[in-house]
Amino acid sequence: MNCIELRRRLLSFLLLYGMYLQLFAQQVTSISGQVRDEHTHQAVKDVIVSIEGISSRTISDNQGAFSLKNIRIPIGEHYIIFYKKGYKKKKYPITIHPKEILALGIVFIEYDAVFYNDEIGTITISDEEIGAPVYDILDAPDVLHATKDAFLSALAYDFSTTFHRYRRVGSQKTQVLLNGLSLHSLATYRPQWSSWGGLNDITKHQEFTTGITANEYVFGSLGGVTNINMSASSLPKGGKISFANSNRTFGNRLMATYSTGLSPKNTAYTISLSKRKTEEGLIEGTYYNGISFFLAAEKKWKKHSLQLAGIYTPLKRGKYTAITEEVFRLKGRYYNPYWGYQNGIFRNAAVRKTEKPIAFISHDWKISDKVQLFTNIAFQTGKTTNSSIDIGGTDIIQISDNIQFISGGGNSRWSNPMHPANLPSYYLQTTKGHNYKNAFLATQRFQENGQLNWDNLIRANSITRQEGKNATYAIREDIEKATQWNGASQWRIKPTDNLKFNGAVNYKKEHNRYYAIIGDLLGGTQFLDVDAFVSNSELSNEEKIHYAQNNLKTPNRLVTEGDTYKYDYTMFSETINGFSQCSWNSKTIDIYLGGQLSTTAHQREGSYENGKFKGVASLGKSDKAHFVNYGIKGGISFHIYGKHSFRLAGMYGTEAPGWRQVFISPRESNIQVKEVTSKPLKSEQILSTELEYLYRGNRITTKLTAFYSTLQHTSNVSSFYTTALAGTAQEFIREVLVDADQKSMGVEIGASCQILSGLELKTAASIGSALYTNNPNLMITGTGDFLRKQGGTLSLGKSFLKGYHIPTGPEIAAQLGISYRDPQFWWTGISANYFANARINSSPFTRTLNFIQDTDGQPFNEYDPLIARELLQQETLGSYFLVNIIGGKSWKWQRKYTLGCFASINNVLNTLYKTGGFEQVRKGNYRQLLEASETTTPVYGNRYYYGYGTSYYINLYVRF
């Protein structure tokens, strides 16, 4: 045997012997214990319990108990990791001895004050940003909660200011649940954020599942599911009083919350109250006044728990709107045309008031250790009011016994300070010549004043009153009086430690009345309830009188303050949904499969018979629009060595349209989209897949997610006034886009690294987009002269949208941040954020063949396809950096109290940036856009929303 052979055999022997020693040194054991909150001493459920370097893991149950059974672990010292969002990660040292089973007893974990947004600046978003009818890209952030996930944390507190859409879909694809119930409106499926606003101490207790992952309450959608648990016993025991000051949306906020925790008599109570108010936010004229109240009680006995809760959050605030580049240059990013002074007192014409209290009753029944049943019922009622100026005041002029005509109507230059005729560009149009003198005077007037002149409107009404005529101007209040019943029965069956079944039956019914009232006659005595714009029609005087009636049952009706007018209808909607899911978890593999079946119905009932839509076309009940939908989704995850995880998930299904996509002009008629397109309106068809990699090491955590989704048969209904419709000079039209196909795709990255004790580096990025993948069909309807002669409907054929981007905020968003948390209970952090490639909303109307046709219906003689391509190119907004700083400090006092402060400064460098915008369609054909391109500030240029400059938020609190 030579030396080489001897060395080889010796090495093999040592290797085998080492493996033998390793196997011999391992112990098969079990580890158990209970997790409790260090402050309240209450059990903490859903804590992930794992052993560092070992793939085994488990989750604590409702009593905080956990058990790692029959795990193979080397003898010696190890660390057990306890992790739950909202608590500091805890490393608990253990020592494994031969033939020993560990019973750890009670393990306390510490509440993370930095995690919860009660110490972090709350994001407050207006309803214009949540989704104005003409601008559908500004949605509330889909993730409004704090999280340890680096990407979701960046999305919630940094990316959200740019209205970055999670998974490149709108908020209608995100489900927000309160006690397991979805309170989304069946009109649009968007969350009703204002219904629970201002209750930060309550709503911060959330469970969030990303994308299309498994959820125990509902089937879910592309944007994930957030459930807010409002049961009194689940809220931390103790009280908290805080005061916040900010220069953003609300100026001051005072909040107080107290929760008893579960008493020895198995009862729990929670109360929370807040007040938010400011005279004016950063944007001019946007005052804010809101009260929020929450009360909950719970009683447990044997295997049952009964919970009661109520929410009341009345809110009143001044609104704002998007502005053109010209207006921005003259007045700045915070300009708002809706406000002015009335007798020296500030007043906003566009005010939104919401008052929709909610009551909950819930019952939990632990039928056995393996079977649980949860029943939840919610009732919401109340109303939302939006005010505006009505300039349609007219009079019926009697010429003879048989001849009448409509006379009057206000001047929109007076009611809209941003009206083109008030701007210098109006006098510099090529078709009107260049009147530099008037342009200069318009510039001076707009810069020096440029606000709504209430005194002019009141003076005009005073003159008509003295002449014995009706009011020309009035404040109109559009009201939604809503009632919603919501119920769900959810069950959880866990036959083994690895296997779990979830299911639910959900029922929702809405009964919403929509109408308008006269809110203020502005010095007038009465208002004529007819459509003033019919007076410009080609119809005879007799036909005009008939056609102009908002309600043929009460012709030429005179209304005063508080009277209903314009329109009055009720929308009935209901949906039933059945959902079932099976999940199987092991040390290395997690699998789930879920499905749902649902039915949705919408029906309108008109209380007015509109003169343009006689008989059943507007009065009484419409046909019922009915949709049956289904869905299936599943996923599999692999866990390797306790540090690496891979997840693949997929979903396929359909979703019913909201009723605003079903009815073309619900204020006036019962007519549905299917009656215009001559074919049934289809449900959206959705196909989605996600691939995720997660690494969780001792110092570094990284998550990479790639997603791809397709949406087919989407539809949209919108309305606007245009002078670009071929065959006519001007027309108010309703645009119906049907069978539009879209795709959303992208990559999300989040990583954090613990550089030193307390010092953490974070980075996050999102690269993705949403696009149209076909050229959908476009129909237009209207009641003007041209469309009336066409039977009220006209097909414009294909809208050439394929390849156009659907606005979802910046398509590139990246962050680099660093934070430090000191053992002496102070912390600070700074983040630098880069954003690029945000798009504005493109008009489908402008991208039809109508674009190249003159008013006589013939193509423009000067049409050039290369120039047209440039004119129709979608605008991409500029890139920008935002720097944000946060910091805070807390103190323990007499072991019973925690005092703290938190401060944040957003956009430290005062960067000027646009969050989005939309194209105006008033002038939207080739000739008009070509003329507009010759000036830097066209009269009907694109309108934009601007982000805040430097803003701050300060919060002081005491917890006891």
Query: What distance in Å separates the CA atoms of residue 52 and residue 30, rounded to the nearest whole number?
Result: 15
The domain boundary, picked from 109, 124, 150, lies at 109
What is the torsion angle, in degrees rounded to the nearest 10, for the CA atoms of residue 282, residue 287, residue 293 and residue 294?
-40
47 lies in some domain? yes
- Residue 136 pLDDT > 60, yes or no? no
Which of 436, 458, 473 lies at the terminal end of a domain, its last residue? 473
Q: What is the pLDDT of residue 181?
A: 96
Q: Exposed/middle/buried for 442, CB within 10 Å: 0-12, 13-18, 19+?
A: buried
- On whether residue 32 sits in a domain, the answer given is yes
Look up residue 562 and give its two tokens. 């508080």
User: Is 68 domain-assigned?
Assistant: yes
| CA-to-CA separations, 17 to 5, 11, 73, 849, in angstroms, rounded | 18, 10, 19, 81
Give the number of domains in the chain: 2
DSSP H or E segment with residue 67: strand 65-74
What local confidence, expressed as pLDDT, does residue 103 receive? 87
Contact assessment for residue 881 and residue 758, using Cβ atoms and an 8 Å cutoff = no
Q: What is the mean pLDDT of the chain?
A: 91
Calculate what percentage of the chain has a pLDDT beyond 70: 92
Whichever domain contains 64, its CATH number is 2.60.40.1120
The tokens for 351 are 């005010």
Residues 249-297 pLDDT 10s: 889 999 999 999 999 999 999 999 999 999 999 999 999 999 999 999 9
Structural domain contains residue 100 = yes
pLDDT in tens, 60-106: 887 889 988 888 788 888 889 898 877 878 888 888 888 778 888 89
Count of alpha carbons within 13 angstroms of residue 308, beta-carbon side: 5
What is the pLDDT, as a whole number, of residue 697? 87
Q: Is residue 55 assigned to a domain?
A: yes
Residue reference for tokens 């991409």: 876
Task: Evaluate if residue 484 carries a pLDDT over 90.
Answer: yes
The answer to whether residue 413 sits within a structural domain is: yes
* Last-in-domain residue among 82, 109, 136: 109
- What pLDDT score was predicted for residue 288? 96
d(CA 369, CA 935): 73
Which residues form the domain of 427?
394-473
Q: Is 333 inside a domain boundary? A: no
Let me know if residue 103 belongs to a domain. yes
Candidate from 252-256, 323-327, 392-396, 427-431 with smallest mean pLDDT: 427-431
- Give the tens place of pLDDT for each residue, 519-539: 999 999 999 999 999 988 889
Q: What is the pTM of this model?
A: 0.89
Nearest to 566 by CA among 481, 482, 479: 479
Whether residue 142 is predicted with pLDDT greater than 70 in this model: the reply is no
For 133-142, 278-287, 440-449, 718-727, which range has the lowest pLDDT when averaged over its residues? 133-142
CA distances in angstroms from 231 to 60, 262, 304, 481, listed in the order given = 19, 11, 13, 28
pLDDT, tens digit (0-9, with 9 covering 90-100), for 687-719: 999 999 999 888 899 999 999 999 999 999 999
Distance (Å, whole) CA 11 – CA 20:
14
Tell me what pLDDT residue 118 has: 45
